[in-house]
Amino acid sequence: MHKSQIFFATQTGNSQEVAEKLQEDLEASGIEVPCADIFDSDPENISE
């Protein structure tokens, strides 16, 4: 099974909206994928 994560960086909120829509669509297809602001993410956990 492939593992994926969605990361975004935004000033206006547009990329966050796109990332959350992508997450919603993937989860509707049965694919669980976390979505997070890259600046709030710990680099040690990104590849896990």
For the chain, the domains span: 6-46
| pLDDT band for position 46 (cuts 50, 70, 90) | confident
Q: Indicate yes or no: pTM above 0.85.
A: no
Cβ-based neighbours of 34, under 8 Å, separated by 6 or more = 5, 6, 23
Among the ranges given (27-31, 34-38, 43-47), the one the predictor scored with the smallest mean pLDDT: 43-47
| pLDDT band for position 44 (cuts 50, 70, 90) | confident
pLDDT given for residue 19 in this prediction: 98
Rounded distance between C-alpha atoms, residue 28 and residue 46, angstroms: 23
